[in-house]
Chains A and B, each alone.
Chain A
Amino acid sequence: MNDLVLHLDNIQKNFGGLSALSDVNLQVEEGTTHAIIGPNGAGKSTLLNVCIGRLKPDAGHVTFYGEELTGRKPHEIAQMGVARVFQTPEIFPEMSLLENVMLPAFSKRDGAFSMNAHKLLSRQGDIRDEAEHILEDVGLQEQMMTEAGSLSRGDKRRLELGMCLILKPRLLLLDEPTAGMSRHDTNSTIDLLKKIKSRGMTKVIIEHDMHVVFSLADKVSVLARGQIIAGGTPEEVREDPKVKEAYLGGAH
């Protein structure tokens, strides 16, 4: 079972009386792009929060390459190789784009805490080169020295994607990476994500834009009211009557 990157086993999460996730099972295989779709409030972001240790599930387990993630601290999970692009971009608004991309590399290198003064105090030529390279990948190299807070919403997402890519994660979780982007930017993001995929990075992507889902996903799971109601290849899911109902009707 080595090729199973992420495994959610009967995850349950309640907020007060609201059952945000109930009996969610999900398996993500190595090298694949797994899309999660579903109407607003279905529990998609909650599912990612459980994976990265922001929320503890009330029941069930999350494993990553066979290792238990439930109960671990967020920074430990990140150190294991799980990175996430958030639904509202989490960046460093007062810093330059370059610093924004360099910082995660430092977190990755020294995150577990080291008191190696030489390393901690020296100038970092190699990490800077790498960051510039990443900024080129996400198409922001020209604005390298601008303040991140002044970017458009779409550019902030691309920056955050770059901040995750420099971590070279083994699993990348993306929460609506193209929301707020123009058609043109969406397409270039799709190209970028395809390129990442060809390098073999495993991804879970939450997306409302079906065009994005169909261009990228190998597998799709449909989440509605906290439950996975359908799953399979994009074509299978598109034809599933339950999915149409969840998106169109909905009132039970």
Chain B
Amino acid sequence: MKIGTMNDLTRFLIFAVVILAMPVWLDPLGGNYPDLLQKFAIYGIFAIGFNILFGLTGYLSFGHAAFLGVGSYAAVWSFKLFTMNAIPALMFGVLFAGALALIIGFLSLRRSGIYFSILTLAFAQMSYNLAYSVLTPITNGETGLQLAQSDPRVIDNMFVEASAGLPSTNLFGLTMSGYPGFYFCAALLILGFFISMRIFRSPFGLMLKGIKSNQNRMMYTGLNTRPYMLTAFVISGMYAGLAGSLLAITDPLAGAERMQWTASGEVVLMTILGGVGTLVGPMIGAGLIKYFENIFSAFNDTVLAEMFSYLPDALVELVVPVVGLFVGSGWHLTLGLLFVVVVIFLPGGIVEGVDKLVKFIRNREKNVGGKVTPQDQPGE
């Protein structure tokens, strides 16, 4: 079966199984930590939502981290004011991110192309700066927003006496850290993937693709493009808000650095790396970046020196600092290089690369076998 022609139900089921089985198949790859697994799922949601805007309409937002940050703040406030339950937290996260996306989208969508990107970037940086300055009472500035023993938590306190120590986030009693936290995020990721798939296949999605392909044509056949664009923008902002609230649910604190432009850039990289406008590409991109970030940033000079200890001492002194540039805190350099390579050699991202590879292997098999079975005909 070719990836491009796979039936949607199969695609969805494979996606769900692969995600739920991550603890199993990531174990030999050294990726089976609950914290990391949660990150895969959360950033997958972020990237899949981003792709609804960027992949379908072609409008590149450089400010989606603002929605991620707002989602986190809203979730932590929900913990502080109402309850440690995850459900209200994520509802608040999605709602506030959606409201902010409505405002930023309304203003930014008056322009297209690079001007749109710059407007979104400017609004996100404004949000970031506000979080550090005037909004300190809400965001707790540089320290970040944290839980405190003295928080009201009105709903929780109606039912149980506050215990000593900080309570933990939960889903009706099930603690939202570790593997349960991962499975909660994974379930939402699968739901998010399903919704995105439905949007991609719907008239709404087709109209968004039409706007990307030829906005004039859409306009002169009667489409009022702006409200549809705004809807796509708000939906993708809500995905970001969901991701942000999950970050807080699995680790209940929120800081302004989550809104910084580097975080906005990261989701752009994830989407492009995996494949813009493809269904699974953004998930693959998010997974790869978070995986390599985890592996590469763990290296430090001592680890490296050990790794290269089989080399003569003089060489070790030469190699370690050079390699050291690319790992640890310098891992962004590796990411940058990887990105450059993908954009130059595989402009369609990894998904396109895999498609090409499958085609190549298939053609070679055909040439070797010399026979073509009907199932192998193009168009199958």
Instruction: Show the binding face of A for B, using Cβ within 8 Å.
Output: 52, 54, 73-75, 78-79, 83-84, 90-95, 99, 102-104, 106-108, 110-113, 115, 119-124, 145, 163-164, 167
Please tell me if the beta carbons of A167 and B203 are within 8 angstroms of each other in the complex. Answer: no
Please tell me if the beta carbons of A121 and B214 are within 8 angstroms of each other in the complex. Answer: no
User: B15 at interface (Cβ–Cβ under 8 A)?
Assistant: no
Tell me, rounded to whole Å, the shortest Cβ–Cβ distance linking A102 to chain B: 7
| A219 and B228 alpha carbons, distance in the complex (Å) | 41
Please tell me if the beta carbons of A111 and B209 are within 8 angstroms of each other in the complex. Answer: no
Please tell me if the beta carbons of B220 and A121 are within 8 angstroms of each other in the complex. Answer: no
Tell me, rounded to whole Å, the shortest Cβ–Cβ distance linking B105 to chain A: 15
* Nearest A-chain residue to B225, judged by Cβ: A75
Please tell me if the beta carbons of A90 and B214 are within 8 angstroms of each other in the complex. Answer: yes
| A113 and B227 alpha carbons, distance in the complex (Å) | 7
Please tell me if the beta carbons of A111 and B223 are within 8 angstroms of each other in the complex. Answer: yes
B residues less than 8 Å from A112 (CB atoms): 222, 224
Please tell me if the beta carbons of B203 and A106 are within 8 angstroms of each other in the complex. Answer: yes
Please tell me if the beta carbons of B217 and A90 are within 8 angstroms of each other in the complex. Answer: yes
| A120 and B216 alpha carbons, distance in the complex (Å) | 21
| A115 and B207 alpha carbons, distance in the complex (Å) | 13
Please tell me if the beta carbons of B206 and A75 are within 8 angstroms of each other in the complex. Answer: no
CB contact under 8 A between A92 and B213, given known A75-B222, A106-B203: yes
* Nearest B-chain residue to A94, judged by Cβ: B213
- Interface 1/0 per residue, B230-258 and A, CB below 8 Å: 01000000000000000000000000000
Please tell me if the beta carbons of B214 and A78 are within 8 angstroms of each other in the complex. Answer: no
User: B333 at interface (Cβ–Cβ under 8 A)?
Assistant: no
Contact among A84, A93, A163, A164 with B213 in the assembled complex (CB-CB below 8 Å): A93
Tell me, rounded to whole Å, the shortest Cβ–Cβ distance linking A30 to chain B: 21
Please tell me if the beta carbons of B221 and A92 are within 8 angstroms of each other in the complex. Answer: no
A residues less than 8 Å from B214 (CB atoms): 90-93
| A160 and B5 alpha carbons, distance in the complex (Å) | 27
Listed from nearest, the 8 A-B pairs whose CB atoms lie closest are A78-B222, A111-B222, A104-B221, A107-B223, A107-B221, A92-B213, A120-B204, A121-B202
Please tell me if the beta carbons of B203 and A78 are within 8 angstroms of each other in the complex. Answer: no
* Nearest B-chain residue to A117, judged by Cβ: B204
Number of B positions contacting A (CB below 8 A): 26
A residues less than 8 Å from B198 (CB atoms): 121
User: B144 at interface (Cβ–Cβ under 8 A)?
Assistant: no
CB contact under 8 A between A92 and B210, given known A74-B220, A78-B222, A107-B222: yes
CB contact under 8 A between A75 and B219, given known A99-B206, A106-B203, A106-B207: yes
| A107 and B214 alpha carbons, distance in the complex (Å) | 13
User: B100 at interface (Cβ–Cβ under 8 A)?
Assistant: no
Task: Count chain B CB atoms within 10 A of each CB in A54, A90, A93, A163 and give the residue with the most.
Answer: A90
Contact among B203, B209, B216, B218 with A124 in the assembled complex (CB-CB below 8 Å): B203
18 pairs, CB–CB < 8 Å, chain A vs chain B: A75-B222, A75-B223, A78-B221, A84-B220, A92-B209, A92-B214, A93-B214, A103-B217, A103-B218, A104-B222, A110-B223, A111-B221, A112-B224, A120-B204, A121-B202, A122-B202, A124-B203, A163-B221
| A83 and B219 alpha carbons, distance in the complex (Å) | 11
- How many residue-residue contacts, CB under 8 A, span A and B? 91
CB contact under 8 A between A121 and B204, given known A91-B214, A92-B213, A92-B214: yes
CB contact under 8 A between A121 and B199, given known A92-B214, A95-B209: yes
| A111 and B206 alpha carbons, distance in the complex (Å) | 13
| A35 and B110 alpha carbons, distance in the complex (Å) | 37
CB contact under 8 A between A83 and B221, given known A94-B213, A95-B213, A121-B202: yes
Task: Count chain A CB atoms within 10 A of each CB in B203, B224, B225 and give the residue with the most.
Answer: B203
B residues less than 8 Å from A94 (CB atoms): 213
Please tell me if the beta carbons of B202 and A52 are within 8 angstroms of each other in the complex. Answer: no
Having A91-B217, A104-B222, A120-B203, one finds 8 other A-B pairs with CB under 8 Å, namely A52-B220, A75-B222, A75-B225, A107-B223, A110-B203, A113-B224, A120-B204, A164-B221
* Nearest A-chain residue to B215, judged by Cβ: A90
- Interface 1/0 per residue, B193-204 and A, CB below 8 Å: 000001101111
| A74 and B216 alpha carbons, distance in the complex (Å) | 9
Please tell me if the beta carbons of A111 and B224 are within 8 angstroms of each other in the complex. Answer: yes
A residues less than 8 Å from B213 (CB atoms): 92-95
Please tell me if the beta carbons of B207 and A79 are within 8 angstroms of each other in the complex. Answer: no
Tell me, rounded to whole Å, the shortest Cβ–Cβ distance linking A81 to chain B: 9
Tell me, rounded to whole Å, the shortest Cβ–Cβ distance linking A16 to chain B: 23
- Interface 1/0 per residue, B4-21 and A, CB below 8 Å: 000000000000000000
Please tell me if the beta carbons of B207 and A167 are within 8 angstroms of each other in the complex. Answer: no
| A121 and B197 alpha carbons, distance in the complex (Å) | 10
Tell me, rounded to whole Å, the shortest Cβ–Cβ distance linking A217 to chain B: 24
| A183 and B221 alpha carbons, distance in the complex (Å) | 29
- Interface 1/0 per residue, B149-161 and A, CB below 8 Å: 0000000000000
Tell me, rounded to whole Å, the shortest Cβ–Cβ distance linking B323 to chain A: 42
Please tell me if the beta carbons of B227 and A78 are within 8 angstroms of each other in the complex. Answer: no
B residues less than 8 Å from A163 (CB atoms): 217, 221
B residues less than 8 Å from A119 (CB atoms): 203
| A117 and B251 alpha carbons, distance in the complex (Å) | 34
| A120 and B214 alpha carbons, distance in the complex (Å) | 20
Tell me, rounded to whole Å, the shortest Cβ–Cβ distance linking A31 to chain B: 23
Please tell me if the beta carbons of A108 and B222 are within 8 angstroms of each other in the complex. Answer: yes
| A83 and B210 alpha carbons, distance in the complex (Å) | 17
- Interface 1/0 per residue, B90-126 and A, CB below 8 Å: 0000000000000000000000000000000000000
Tell me, rounded to whole Å, the shortest Cβ–Cβ distance linking B221 to chain A: 4
| A224 and B181 alpha carbons, distance in the complex (Å) | 74
| A194 and B224 alpha carbons, distance in the complex (Å) | 32
B residues less than 8 Å from A90 (CB atoms): 214, 216-217, 220
| A73 and B218 alpha carbons, distance in the complex (Å) | 13
* Nearest B-chain residue to A124, judged by Cβ: B203
Please tell me if the beta carbons of B228 and A113 are within 8 angstroms of each other in the complex. Answer: yes
